[in-house]
Structure 1
């Protein structure tokens, strides 16, 4: 079976030359190899099969760092062979393996581990064969390698006369390392045992649950022919991750294993759906749209925009594609054929607009299919950040490493010490804008003067406002460069908007399609379009295109000279583009990006001594590390560990520690938080329960009851307390996927409540939010509102948002209607039992909160029982609204 091998090249490490990826002359085509840069852009694709396994030929010479793995059945190799082809003598070579064992004397660039001449291949392309024994660094799902190959010989290479360059081939064995040379002498032919079945490969690659004592210490020991020459990183251990990491290697192995599990489960889920679900089931689940016609329509900062519509011109089925989602474009199926990746720009009832990197050929011809895809970029950047955290010296990763891992005697005192950045600490004696309350001022002062600060922002307390004030103050003091990040694009946009309003020169990194339309002019792409050097670059591109068109009429030396001119022009264009980028980034006081986006290759090796992470409690620990390892010396984490944790797809990864944020672990380590205590969002009665239950009664009200009058259109049990619980009977049901739940009776009740609220004229559609914990219920209610009056412009419910609880964190509405869904005789409520989910759901509302549910089911949980008891005691049960 053909396998797909992904190689992610990290261009910021030296220079990677991928001038040619070709079929091996002895190989038989069985699949494809996809070379991806850090943004997931496909560079080249080819794969061949040789009698010795799968291999990839690259032409070039330089420093290459990458990751290798097979997506089909997740069969990965244990051994990496570097085959140097050449018609002449190899003058010198070095093979480096990055083991990340500083304590064992290996430097952060990867010291020479173990290499031996296995023999020479016989034949026309004879050359030196160097073998490196290496266990997969990221558990069994990823091979992490660093190869430094230096060879210099004249001669005939790849039918080209080249000097000072070479061809090297990476040979991936899909069998256990049972190969051996018939003789150790040069010139002997290599022999490899037959490749076993994929299942046997997987078993051979699974690390032991209980590593040896030597492995635990991280020592390198001599092994037999079936073992490894490198320490064996473990698969993620069972149980929660520790708070304090005495050994950095344990932290590295744990989290690289966890993110590997997360990616594996995500890919497995997507591929399982593609291969085994029927087309109708995929459509019903909202994961696929097919039988579409496409047409190009404009560009977004140079990237083509494609519009996909139903071939019959009608409405599209209810689907899950939304702004910023990654989608796979194919003709019939997203596997086994050439596909195109894109990002959803926006959607409507009859069309979906998608931004692609390059317009596919024949886009108007035939029909298209859209599928939701899995994103590998985040995994690659997190894995790289973990390596930099542990592999790098203090000047190349972060000087905060020991503190972050809990390897200091007194973490709280260490965090409170002044940051090691030039200049004296400055205290915020007076708020120049007069917009900070007492707790916000205290948090800002701490953030300015401590090298690590945790700011806890309960709902409605202005944590983003506080974060912007921290950034603006630091920028005004000239402390930059500053990197401002958050887990979601929405939160980054909020930071960016606040900074621009404060007059800060901030630039946004990332895909413009994922940025709020009103802020796109602040993106790096937009500023590059308006750069004064853009005309020079356009002239170069036109000259390059003209010369390229004229190649067909040239021969011999003239053609060779033209190729040289083209190469020079390409280098000049790259130099000019980099000059423009560097200038814009150098001038920016604050660079804004998502946590994962801060690993964008466009930032290169740029360092940011000051890093702020908003939504830090929604970011997994590896995700938070991506901006931190850019040389952070002064760190501010803003979040609320009483609200939703990081979103993790894999249950085993979540249980292993990926579901706990760095923010929360640091609290468990003993660091104190600076809590914002005045909320400005909720009616005091809405704040009453969450303030007492989740925040120890410390929340105060910054608004009074008169500023939050109860909305008309609903019979509130107590008009002085706009909170109500509407009891509804009716059993829950599973959706077509069998993984999400819905409740028709509760959906109908919710529809009636929203209809009456809007009919009273006190509210508009955008003032009301419908929240539910299950995606199946989101789809059911979206369909109900669409059919009952329309959610589109001009429709009865235009502006109404129906979202999951996770989709509403950080949001607010005048009225929230929370549909709980769960109703069963067993009293099972699933992840509704997460008290953080309840906290988020009931703190989104400003003027009114309506809960819809089955009280008997919900009472089986302690937190829900407490809320229902509180509502009954205050007479807030809306029995008069009626049962379903």
Structure 2
């Protein structure tokens, strides 16, 4: 049994109705002010492009068409300025308040505002109460849509509270008194208690049957607690059917369109007359036919209503095109009369439709007094059912509760609460839901819990059952042991045979991205691991549509989408909040947080973690840093549970696959904090050094990516730009007072060679340490080496001297000898021992030619034999390394291709004339291996010269560029001013 207690006398203090109303009004005001302030700051702080990346703006739209909708509102349809193109990714949904801005207006002044009535892939429709006068006479202008603070919902909630204050005078005061603790709930015996209740659904389990019977017996209040997968929606459908069977008119509400549509879909197969208010979130025929608009269109009244709407649309078109003000005024005057008549006819028609319905379904905000329900008398409904009550503000629930004398609440208060913007309002009590408050006050006396779950494998279920539901949940036999391998066409392997998997990144250098505090969090190492595991599942036969990847952070969602969505369009990658109420056969979770301080952020919200874990049916894979997660008790319990009941793998086990994830994929809008320079003499622990190498790898790869612009092999003329990040890193180390620097283990072979070459030029010790995936380059300075700023230049001119040349040629041997001497004198566990093999530096073939004669010089006989043997070993290692480099020249230069090159393919699959690198037949074309742009440029130059022309210089002097830029800016300003004057006319 859950630890629920009835309200004590001290909990009632200050909990009266008047106090509740005053407190909620103040908290709503805080929430409203915070929402407006954040919206204003965002629009002032960010550009239009950045707002679009955050989902707050849709750019480059044109007005496609307009027509008259319900209640005479004008519905305008906007589409992309590129006809047929889908809308960019955005966060707009039904009911949002949207401002329309002319795209060319730099001040972003809102021309007019409307409410989102529907959203499709290629268009968005806005409803305007006062017509579209600001858009009349539109000449193809391009608009941007900005999401504004939603004051409509705020006004509805405020009116509801004022109505609640006066509710003692209406006939539903018994329900109000019970919910505020001044009276106790009562039961009404069934009409025929001797006869068992006959259920419509014969497959209900015992807990579901008890919940239905209990809801029917209660006179004023019943609560159905439905943990994940226990069939709450199935139970509610049965409750609605039983109420309708007894002749009751039922109002069913939920905080989201998706939850409402789920109920509509289930009720559409019953003989009940169902009406769905508002626009269905999903365009399913079974749902759309039950919408109020669709039923109205099938009614006898629609003929006259349709004629009036057409006449209104015609007059609006005439008024917009008319140049005569008198004719425009006449048209608008007649429009007012037609709209008045239209509203009256629609009011009567809607009233008849709603009165004849057995069940009316809507979102909570649509159930307000200014919606379609205003056409019904206050006493029309006998029962109000609120699904997902634990996700709604209590004030929003009262919009439905004030319309019926009895209410049935359903939900799970151990899942996500409503979203609150203002931290002060949340702490003040705005996030406390009606379901939580009711159970705290009345406890088990008003609640029945569903205990048989039909979704999860019993091992996936058990953790949440024990931690949050008192261990009461029981997995149904049909799901208790089901696994991915049981699905048709899926292999039986080490991944598909596991219900629980933990991929642990602790100690693997996969730190989270260091983003600003007000930005979302991301972890590229975890994103790569998620992509690898998903690919394994799909290659095992699991359909991408049966897999969901979820993460608490939106930035991580974007990072994972960049890695997977293009290859697997059917794969869902969502935030935890966006996936509540859903389920998939396999769920892969990325917890993101990995830092030295153990900060877990809003992962500390237990209900969010519960939602994430309970989405999976057969397989749950968690990717996280166990060291960071273990700093929080609730998260630690999850890690410990999977460690005991499932399988734990270290991220190191995926090192071979991680090597293939060489490119850093990031959203263009990501912002990182500037890295702080560490103290020159600070000593790092091994784990800190590993994390530093990981961060260095991320930064350097990103820099290399931006400079190259492609992941294909680079051309020699681009070598300087590709090497610049490594050169900057090595040069910076040479100029600093640091004695040692470790580079990341994730460097590619080409990057390792580049670092060795640069270190050799600067006279640094450069050796490789570690084995396998942990092998990395360590840079050290010789004991007598001054900072780089004091060193002579390494240019050709200054290296021509004999002494410098000899030092350069023998630098490797000397540096290795001194390194061994240093290690012998002062051992350090972070450095290699004398016996540890080290990789010599990679050099150009020309350097090999220079070095060989000097190595063949006869050494003095007085030199110790051990030293001679060491030099011979180094010569052999060096020759072996040169052989490997020469062998690499005989393989295809395309990334990840190991095809051997053959002389027979010369001119076809041999060296590219542009980048001078060899490629196999498959990658021989310049357009394939990355030289396409260069090939096109050369072709254009050759064609131009063949026509007798000359090639224009590819650069422009800075002073000339500034002059041209000023002229362009002046011309653009003139054109913008001209457009403004035309618009005023």
Q: Name the SS for the 2:289 alignment partner.
A: helix
TM-score (norm 2): 0.58
Contact 1:714 1:757 in 2 (8 A): no
Q: Say whether residues 1:813 and 2:584 are aligned partners.
A: yes
RMSD: 3.8
Contact 1:528 1:580 in 2 (8 A): yes
Q: Which residue of 2 aligns with 1:865?
A: 636
Shift of 1:478: 0.4
Q: Which residue of 1 aligns with 2:427?
A: 655
Q: Which residue of 1 aligns with 2:50?
A: 281
Contact 1:507 1:522 in 2 (8 A): yes
Q: Say whether residues 1:374 and 2:149 are aligned partners.
A: yes
Contact 1:506 1:592 in 2 (8 A): yes
Q: Name the SS for the 1:802 alignment partner.
A: strand
Q: Which residue of 1 aligns with 2:511?
A: 731
Q: Which residue of 2 aligns with 1:779?
A: 558
Q: Say whether residues 1:308 and 2:308 are aligned partners.
A: no
- Find 2:524's aligned residue among 744, 747, 754: 744
The range that moved more, 506-515 or 867-876, is 506-515
Contact 1:285 1:737 in 2 (8 A): no
Q: Take 1:493 and 1:274, find their aligned partners in 2: how far apart are those partners?
A: 33
Structure ID, larger Rg = 2
Q: Which residue of 2 aligns with 1:506?
A: 274
Q: Name the SS for the 1:434 alignment partner.
A: coil
Q: Say whether residues 1:586 and 2:363 are aligned partners.
A: no
After superposition, the C-alpha distances for 1:237-290 in whole angstroms (9 at most, x for unaligned) are: xxxx96665432210111111111111111111111112323343244343343
Structure 2, unaligned runs of 5 or more: 1-9, 659-985
Q: Which residue of 2 aligns with 1:224?
A: none
Shift of 1:620: 1.3
Q: Take 2:388 and 2:148, find their aligned partners in 1: how far apart are those partners?
A: 25
The range that moved more, 259-268 or 439-448, is 259-268
Q: Which residue of 2 aligns with 1:437?
A: 205
Q: Take 1:809 and 1:446, find their aligned partners in 2: how far apart are those partners?
A: 27
Q: Which residue of 1 aligns with 2:459?
A: 685
Shift of 1:393: 3.4
Q: Take 1:709 and 1:561, find their aligned partners in 2: how far apart are those partners?
A: 69
After superposition, the C-alpha distances for 1:476-506 in whole angstroms (9 at most, x for unaligned) are: 11012x1100111111111111111122111
- Find 1:676's aligned residue among 427, 443, 450: 450
1:331-350 mapped onto 2 (5 Å cutoff): 331-332=102-103, 336-343=109-116, 345-346=118-119, 348=121
Q: Say whether residues 1:617 and 2:394 are aligned partners.
A: no
After superposition, the C-alpha distances for 1:168-217 in whole angstroms (9 at most, x for unaligned) are: xxxxxxxxxxxxxxxxxxxxxxxxxxxxxxxxxxxxxxxxxxxxxxxxxx
After superposition, the C-alpha distances for 1:9-55 in whole angstroms (9 at most, x for unaligned) are: xxxxxxxxxxxxxxxxxxxxxxxxxxxxxxxxxxxxxxxxxxxxxxx
After superposition, the C-alpha distances for 1:54-103 in whole angstroms (9 at most, x for unaligned) are: xxxxxxxxxxxxxxxxxxxxxxxxxxxxxxxxxxxxxxxxxxxxxxxxxx
Q: Name the SS for the 2:501 alignment partner.
A: strand
Q: Take 1:253 and 1:586, find their aligned partners in 2: how far apart are those partners?
A: 35
Q: Take 2:550 and 2:331, find their aligned partners in 1: how far apart are those partners?
A: 62
Q: Name the SS for the 1:882 alignment partner.
A: helix
After superposition, the C-alpha distances for 1:358-386 in whole angstroms (9 at most, x for unaligned) are: 66335562322122332222222221111
Shift of 1:425: 9.2
Q: Residues 395, 300 of structure 1: CA spacing in aligned structure 2 closer, same or farther, 3 A cutoff?
A: closer
1:237-276 mapped onto 2 (5 Å cutoff): 245-276=14-45
The range that moved more, 443-452 or 568-577, is 568-577
Q: Name the SS for the 2:597 alignment partner.
A: coil
After superposition, the C-alpha distances for 1:311-367 in whole angstroms (9 at most, x for unaligned) are: 69988765444677554331146853313435274465xx55444446633556232
TM-score (norm 1): 0.64
Q: Name the SS for the 2:185 alignment partner.
A: helix
Q: Name the SS for the 2:561 alignment partner.
A: helix
Shift of 1:740: 1.5
Q: Residues 274, 475 of structure 1: CA spacing in aligned structure 2 closer, same or farther, 3 A cutoff?
A: same
Contact 1:330 1:340 in 2 (8 A): no
Q: Which has the higher contact order (CA 8 A, sep 6+)?
A: 1
Q: Which has the higher strand share?
A: 1
Q: Which has the higher helix share?
A: 2
Q: Take 2:496 and 2:335, find their aligned partners in 1: how far apart are those partners?
A: 75
Q: Residues 462, 544 of structure 1: CA spacing in aligned structure 2 closer, same or farther, 3 A cutoff?
A: closer
Contact 1:770 1:802 in 2 (8 A): yes
Contact 1:344 1:352 in 2 (8 A): no
Q: Residues 246, 772 of structure 1: CA spacing in aligned structure 2 closer, same or farther, 3 A cutoff?
A: closer
Q: Residues 714, 279 of structure 1: CA spacing in aligned structure 2 closer, same or farther, 3 A cutoff?
A: farther
Contact 1:508 1:524 in 2 (8 A): yes
Q: Name the SS for the 2:110 alignment partner.
A: coil
After superposition, the C-alpha distances for 1:805-845 in whole angstroms (9 at most, x for unaligned) are: 11111110111111111111111111111111111111111
Equivalences, count: 623
Q: Take 1:572 and 1:524, find their aligned partners in 2: how far apart are those partners?
A: 19
Q: Which residue of 2 aligns with 1:577?
A: 346
- Find 1:882's aligned residue among 645, 654, 657: 654
1:239-638 mapped onto 2 (5 Å cutoff): 245-293=14-62, 295-296=64-65, 304=75, 306-309=77-80, 319-321=90-92, 326-332=97-103, 336-343=109-116, 345-346=118-119, 348=121, 351-357=122-128, 360-361=135-136, 365-395=140-170, 398-408=173-183, 414-418=184-188, 429-450=197-218, 451-480=220-249, 482-512=250-280, 518-540=286-308, 571-599=340-368, 600-604=370-374, 606-607=377-378, 608-630=381-403, 632-638=404-410
Structure 1, unaligned runs of 5 or more: 1-240, 409-413, 791-795
Contact 1:448 1:474 in 2 (8 A): yes
Q: Take 1:803 and 1:819, find their aligned partners in 2: how far apart are those partners?
A: 11
Q: Residues 371, 424 of structure 1: CA spacing in aligned structure 2 closer, same or farther, 3 A cutoff?
A: farther
Contact 2:483 2:496 in 1 (8 A): no
